[in-house]
């Protein structure tokens, strides 16, 4: 282990702190380590901290034939300094309350990583050593650099810095909790076993952005990324995922870290040429500011910017009025915010009298940067600037200035830092609370609370589950990631022309479906240009009628030209018809006799009225069933005839509505059987009239052969024959729906095909035969005595029946479309009303209006007069 550690650190040290070579090759190499500013406080356990308080700039390019370039840190970041102060605030809050960690104090050792992997790795190496010895050789010989004095590191902010630090700390299993590194690559536990974070992975942020693009229907989106792990990884995942939903990437550009104007101007040119109106900028706020500086100088307007969470609430952009006309309306996702009580007072409590230039170099740099004065302390940051600044007066007060540092309205990353500190404190509490013999380690042992090993603390961090005072649960999943919840914010201008971050929605990465994950209040969004109209971002407009899409060579599928169709016409399929402009084929309308048509409603009313009328006659006959006129007209056959007439009225309803397999089979069979039953009953009544007259002749015994049973047998046999014909019809070739399509007509006629025309002809022929026999017998019995004058009524009814159906044949053949069905229904209803009116109307008249004639005496008188 010592040898491995020695070789690894020798390599890292030589990479980080290169030597100066003199011209004489015999002289040995001399190590010249750079000094680093550190802010520290003693405690029972020390937490390491990495914060990118400044950017780093190389004064000259790297060359292997000259002295290594001198590195300079510049552009102090007040926002990051607030994050650092939040870490100190959380530590002091835990120490002061003493509830979470009684009898233990937490200290800290915080470094400025200078926004570069170089400085971040250098700080990580410093944090893993016990002492800050001046000579590297003494560290190696004593192996002190391999002894972990800091069991956990909070940081760094940028994903690029965290990647380097996580690789190094992972070798020694030192847990690292980042508050701002969101690169999805850091979720790989095989490569980064000791990395955790309170910042959601970019995988969830990209999913949220893809859902946002889908929600507003944008198909032509530009992508700009920062030249680091955060920007490149996030933008690549977005480009890959969004194209799966048919969205095209208008362009993909990278903002260089050196921010050369020529390269950024090239990006501006690409934006103009692409004509994309929606652009996603996936970068940190420093890179975003560099781009927007050039956008502002180039007067590039009318772009709807989508912000990644790294700059979606960046005050350095929102507070600068020069960006307002560019960024007003920006939409982006931001991690959840919180209001931390007491934090602002802590931030403003820093005063000149409390500063020590030697112990607090970071605070000294901050003070000089805020008030643009010099404290006379020469640090690595101010050695070139101290001479040009006036001395500090000692009366400066942070409450008199307003900047990003003291702005606590958007505590998002600061809250991540706060949660990271409390996650460590919660893990330490669990470690100290371990009961001997019930521990999680080998042979159920516990960790030594006086000498905590980083790998032991890592175990407790992975299983931490702590509910803080904001009712927010601090926990990590198997990848070391927190629960992914984002606020969707909109940059809106208030009456004072200041940018406000308005919450317009939310994304919950833990929801099960896409609809449940993204919630947007569209009605409160103000887009770029202070409009509520959703911007349109497409490569090509929808082609007008009469034109078609023609793909552009070497362009995405979203880009095409609209060219006119060829003059040659293409016939539409039989089921389709051309539109009014003859540019496309549209489905034909389907035509059938519907219940919603005026004609259909009329026929339904007539049918139901006939059914009700028949039922009324049944009621009259039943109430007067003992009267002579009912008894004389064979009441049993009369009731059966009325029942069959009801079926005849109702069967007409099966012809109305959209034809289906079952309705087609029912309508024809119901029609055939109900009318045969009706005619059979009339035939039975006619035969009874004739036999009754013959039976009155002297010496005739024919009446005994035609009692009630033979009458019922006649009806049953005649009806059964029709039932057999219909059954064979349905089994062999049943009726079925059929579409009658003509290329010359703009509609499709939906009707019922008879299936077997022979079977259909047999049904109608058998019905016609019974009707003819009934008419013939009734005609022969028309001159019988008055008491048996029902034969005359049957004769009239059968004449009407036959006339209706004879006239139906030519009318049915000549009727087009649904009117052929109307003709058939009309024939059914007309013949049914004819039978009901001719046979039963006179009897009802006699029963209801002339009751004096409905007597046995009157009936006998008629018979006697008839015989004389």
Domain boundaries, the chain: 2-22+33-200+368-395+410-475, 202-340+482-524, 598-867
Calculate mean pLDDT across residues 227-253. 92
Q: What pLDDT is stored for residue 248 in this prediction? A: 92
Cα-Cα-Cα-Cα dihedral sign, residues 81, 87, 89, 92 = negative
- For the beta carbon of residue 376, count every other beta carbon within 10 angstroms: 12
Residue 630 in tokens: 């009912």
In the predicted model, what is the mean pLDDT of residues 514-518?
82
- Mean pLDDT, rounded, for 793-813: 82
- The residue among 568 and 542 whose pLDDT is bigger is 542
Bond from prior residue into 156 cis (ω within 30 degrees of 0): yes
Residue 282 to residue 230: CA distance in whole angstroms: 8
Q: Do domains 2-22+33-200+368-395+410-475 and 202-340+482-524 have the same CATH topology?
A: yes
| pLDDT reported for residue 627 | 80
**In sequence order, what are the residues at sequence separation of 6 or more whose Cβ sits closer than 8 angstroms to the Cβ of residue 301?**
325, 326
CATH architecture observed for domain 2-22+33-200+368-395+410-475 = 3-Layer(aba) Sandwich (3.40)
Q: How many CA within 13 A on the CB side of residue 383? A: 6
**What is the phi-psi region of residue 848: left when phi exceeds 0, alpha when psi lies from -120 to 50, beta otherwise?**
alpha
Q: Which of 31, 80, 55, 74 is nearest to 383 (CA)?
A: 74
| pLDDT above 90 (res 236) | yes
Query: Stretch 68-78: mean pLDDT, rounded?
Result: 70
Q: Tell which residue, 598, 600, 569, 567, has the closest CA to residue 585.
A: 569
- Of the ranges 142-151, 479-488, 618-627, 782-791, which is most confident? 479-488
Structure token pair of residue 292: 């927007």
**312 vs 15, 232, 494, CA distance in Å?**
36, 17, 18
What is the chain's Cα-based Rg?
Answer: 49
What's the DSSP call for residue 658? S
**pLDDT higher than 70, residue 512:** yes
Burial 154-164 (b: 16+ CB within 10 A, else e): bbbbbbbbbbb
Are the C-beta atoms of residues 770 and 683 closer than 8 Å to each other?
A: yes
Which helix H or strand E contains 727, and what residues bound it? helix 708-732
What DSSP element (H or E) covers 662?
A: helix 661-695
Q: Is 250 exposed, middle or buried (0-12, 13-18, 19+ CB in 10 A)?
A: buried
Length of the chain: 868
| pLDDT above 70 (res 8) | no
Name the DSSP letter for residue 434. P
Section 637-641 average pLDDT: 84
Tell me if 156 sits within 8 A of 177, measured CB to CB.
no
* Mean pLDDT calculated for residue range 264-273: 93
- Token pair for 224: 């700009």
Cα 836 from Cα 861, distance rounded (Å): 28
Which tokens is 841 given?
């109307």
Task: Report which of residues 370 and 73 the model is more confident about.
Answer: 370
Mean of the pLDDT values across residues 272-300? 92
pLDDT mean over 123-131: 76
Angle made by CA atoms 223, 226, 230, in degrees to the nearest 5: 100
Give pLDDT, residue 356. Answer: 55
Q: Which two tokens stand for residue 721?
A: 């024959």
Is the CA virtual torsion 839, 844, 847, 849 positive or negative? negative
**Residue among 108, 87, 112 nearest 151 (CA):** 108
DSSP conformation letters of 155-214: --SSHHHHHHHHHHHHHTT--EEESS---GGGG-TTT-TTEEESS--HHHHHHHHHHHHH
Residue 689 has pLDDT above 60, yes or no: yes
Of 519 and 851, the one with more pLDDT = 519
CB 676 within 8 A of CB 719: yes
User: DSSP class of residue 547?
Assistant: E
pLDDT at res. 320? 85
Give yes or no for residue 557 having a pLDDT over 80: yes
Per-residue tokens: 102: 């009684």
Which range in 183-192, 547-556, 799-808 is most confidently predicted, on average pLDDT? 183-192
CA-wise closest residue to 362 among 52, 17, 42: 52
β pairing state of 547-551 and 560-564 = antiparallel
Say what the pLDDT of residue 765 is: 85
Query: Under a CB-based contact definition with an 8 Å cutoff, are residues 76 and 13 in contact?
Result: no
**Helix (H), strand (E) at residue 750:** strand 747-753
pLDDT tens by residue, 200-223 = 998 999 999 999 999 999 999 999
Residue 507 phi/psi, 5° resolution? -125, 125
Kindly report the three-state secondary structure assignment for every residue of 249-318: EEEEEEECCCCCHHHHHHHHHHHHHHCCCEEEEECCHHHHHHHHHHHHHCCCCCCEEEECCCCCCCHHHH
Residue 866 pLDDT > 50: no
Residue 20 pLDDT exceeds 60: no
Average pLDDT over residues 796-821: 81
- Average pLDDT score over the chain: 81
List CB contacts of 135: < 8 A, sequence separation 6 or more: 31
Please say if the pLDDT value at position 510 is more than 60. yes
First to last CA, the chain: 144
Question: Is the pLDDT reported for residue 860 higher than 60?
Answer: no
Q: Compare 628 and 464 and report the one with higher pLDDT.
A: 464
Sequence-distant (6+) residues with CB within 8 A of 723 are: 673
pLDDT at 144: 41
3-state secondary structure of 100: coil
**Which of 97-106, 208-217, 692-701, 817-826 is modeled with the greatest confidence?**
208-217
| Mean predicted confidence (pLDDT) in 249-271 | 91
Find tokens 């020798």 and name the residue. 10
Question: Given this model, what pLDDT does residue 761 score?
Answer: 82
DSSP 3-state assignment of 838? helix
**The residue to which tokens 């069979």 are assigned:** 669
Residue 409 in this model has a pLDDT that exceeds 50: yes
Q: Are 741 and 588 in contact (CB under 8 A)?
A: yes
Position 257 pLDDT exceeds 50: yes
Q: Which residues contact 387 (CB under 8 A, 6 or more apart)?
A: none
Q: What was the pLDDT predicted at 303?
A: 94
CB–CB of 474/464 below 8 Å? yes
% of the chain at pLDDT higher than 70: 83
Identify the burial level of 386 via C-beta atoms within 10 angstroms of its C-beta, where 0-12 means exposed, 13-18 middle and 19 or more buried: middle
Q: Is 742 exposed, middle or buried (0-12, 13-18, 19+ CB in 10 A)?
A: exposed
- pLDDT of residue 265 exceeding 90: yes
Distance CA 167, CA 731 (A): 80
Cα gap 800→778, rounded to integer Å:
13
Q: Is pLDDT at 354 greater than 70 in this prediction?
A: no
Residue 220 and residue 276 in contact, taking contact as beta carbons nearer than 8 Å: yes
- At 505, is the secondary structure helix, strand, or coil? strand
DSSP class of residue 65?
T
Residue 645 near residue 735, CB atoms below 8 Å: no
The whole-number pLDDT of residue 333 equals 94
Measured CA to CA, the distance from residue 192 to residue 765 in angstroms comes to: 91
- pLDDT for 64 equals 56
Euclidean distance between CA atoms 377 and 265, whole angstroms: 40
- pLDDT number for residue 671: 85
202-340+482-524: CATH topology: Rossmann fold (3.40.50)
Tell me if the domain spanning 598-867 has CATH number 1.20.1070.10.
Answer: yes
């Amino acid at each position: 282990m010592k040898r491995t550690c020695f070789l690894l650190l020798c390599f890292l040290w030589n990479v980080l702190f290169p030597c100066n070579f003199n011209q004489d090759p015999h002289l040995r190499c001399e190590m010249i380590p750079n000094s680093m500013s550190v802010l520290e406080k003693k405690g029972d356990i020390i937490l390491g901290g990495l914060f990118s308080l400044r950017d780093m700039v190389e004064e000259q390019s790297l060359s292997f034939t000259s002295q290594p370039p001198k590195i300079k840190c510049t552009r102090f970041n007040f926002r990051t300094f607030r994050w650092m102060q939040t870490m100190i605030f959380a530590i002091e809050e835990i120490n002061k309350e003493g509830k979470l960690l009684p009898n233990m104090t937490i200290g800290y050792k915080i470094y400025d990583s200078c926004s570069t992997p170089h400085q971040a790795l250098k700080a990580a190496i410093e944090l893993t050593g016990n002492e800050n010895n001046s000579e590297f050789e003494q560290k190696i010989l004593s192996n002190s650099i391999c002894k972990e004095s800091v069991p956990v590191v909070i940081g760094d902010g940028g994903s690029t810095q965290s990647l380097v630090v996580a690789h190094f700390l992972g070798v020694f299993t030192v847990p690292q909790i980042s508050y701002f590194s969101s690169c999805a690559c850091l979720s790989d536990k095989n490569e980064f076993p000791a990395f955790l974070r309170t910042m959601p992975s970019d995988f969830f942020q990209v999913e949220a952005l893809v859902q946002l693009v889908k929600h507003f229907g944008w198909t032509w989106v530009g992508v700009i990324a920062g030249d680091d792990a955060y920007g490149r990884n996030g933008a690549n995942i977005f480009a890959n995922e969004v194209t799966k939903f048919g969205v095209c990437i208008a362009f993909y550009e990278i903002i260089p870290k050196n921010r050369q104007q020529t390269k950024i101007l090239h990006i501006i040119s690409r934006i103009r040429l692409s004509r994309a109106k929606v652009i996603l900028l996936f970068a940190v706020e420093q890179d975003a500011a560099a781009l927007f500086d050039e956008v502002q100088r180039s007067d590039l307007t009318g772009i709807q910017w989508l912000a990644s969470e790294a700059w979606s609430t960046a005050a350095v952009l929102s507070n600068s009025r020069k960006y307002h006309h560019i960024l007003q309306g920006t939409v982006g996702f931001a991690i959840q915010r919180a209001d931390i009580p007491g934090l602002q007072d802590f931030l403003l409590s820093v005063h000149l009298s409390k500063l020590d230039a030697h112990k607090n170099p970071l605070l000294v740099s901050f003070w000089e940067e805020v008030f643009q004065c010099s404290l006379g302390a020469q640090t690595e940051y101010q050695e070139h600037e101290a001479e040009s600044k006036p001395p500090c007066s000692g009366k400066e007060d942070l409450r008199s200035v307003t900047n990003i540092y003291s702005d606590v309205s958007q505590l998002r990353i600061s809250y991540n830092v706060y949660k990271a500190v409390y996650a460590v404190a919660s893990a330490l509490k669990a470690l100290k609370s371990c009961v001997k013999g019930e521990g999680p380690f080998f042979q159920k042992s516990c960790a030594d609370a006086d000498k905590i090993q980083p790998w032991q603390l890592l175990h407790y961090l992975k299983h931490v589950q702590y509910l803080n005072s904001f009712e927010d649960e601090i926990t990590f999943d198997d990848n070391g990631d927190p629960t992914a919840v984002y606020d969707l914010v909109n940059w809106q201008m208030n009456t004072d022309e200041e940018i406000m971050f308005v919450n317009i929605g939310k994304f919950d990465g833990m929801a099960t479906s896409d609809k449940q994950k993204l919630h947007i209040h569209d009605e409160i969004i103000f887009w770029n240009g202070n409009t509520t109209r959703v911007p349109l971002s497409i490569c090509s407009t929808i082609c007008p009628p009469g034109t078609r899409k023609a793909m552009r060579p070497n362009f995405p599928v979203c880009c095409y030209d609209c060219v006119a169709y060829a003059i040659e016409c293409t016939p539409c399929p039989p089921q389709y018809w051309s539109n009014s402009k003859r540019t496309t084929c549209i489905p034909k309308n389907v035509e059938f006799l519907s219940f919603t048509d005026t004609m259909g409603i009329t026929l339904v009313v007539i049918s139901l009225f006939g059914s009700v009328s028949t039922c009324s006659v049944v009621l009259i006959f039943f109430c007067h069933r003992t009267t002579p006129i009912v008894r004389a007209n064979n009441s049993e056959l009369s009731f059966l005839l009325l029942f069959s007439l009801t079926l005849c009225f109702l069967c007409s309803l099966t012809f109305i509505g959209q034809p289906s397999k079952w309705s087609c089979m029912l309508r024809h069979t119901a029609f055939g059987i109900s009318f045969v039953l009706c005619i059979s009953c009339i035939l039975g009544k006619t035969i009874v009239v004739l036999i009754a007259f013959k039976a009155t002749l002297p010496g005739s015994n024919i009446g005994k052969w035609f009692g009630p049973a033979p009458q019922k047998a006649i009806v049953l046999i005649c009806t059964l024959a029709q039932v057999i014909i219909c059954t064979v019809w349905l089994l062999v070739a049943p009726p079925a729906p059929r579409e009658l399509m003509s290329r010359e007509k703009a509609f499709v006629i939906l009707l019922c095909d008879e299936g077997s025309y022979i079977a259909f002809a047999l049904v109608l022929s058998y019905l016609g035969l019974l009707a003819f026999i009934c008419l013939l017998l009734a005609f022969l019995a028309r001159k019988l005595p008055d008491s048996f004058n029902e034969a005359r009524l049957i004769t009239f009814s059968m004449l009407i029946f036959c006339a209706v159906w004879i006239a139906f044949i030519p009318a049915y053949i000549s009727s087009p479309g649904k009117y052929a069905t109307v003709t058939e229904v009309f024939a059914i209803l007309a013949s049914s009303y004819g039978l009901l009116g001719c046979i039963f109307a006179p009897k009802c008249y006699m029963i209801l209006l002339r009751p004096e004639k409905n007597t046995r005496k009157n009936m006998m008188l008629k018979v006697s007069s008839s015989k004389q």
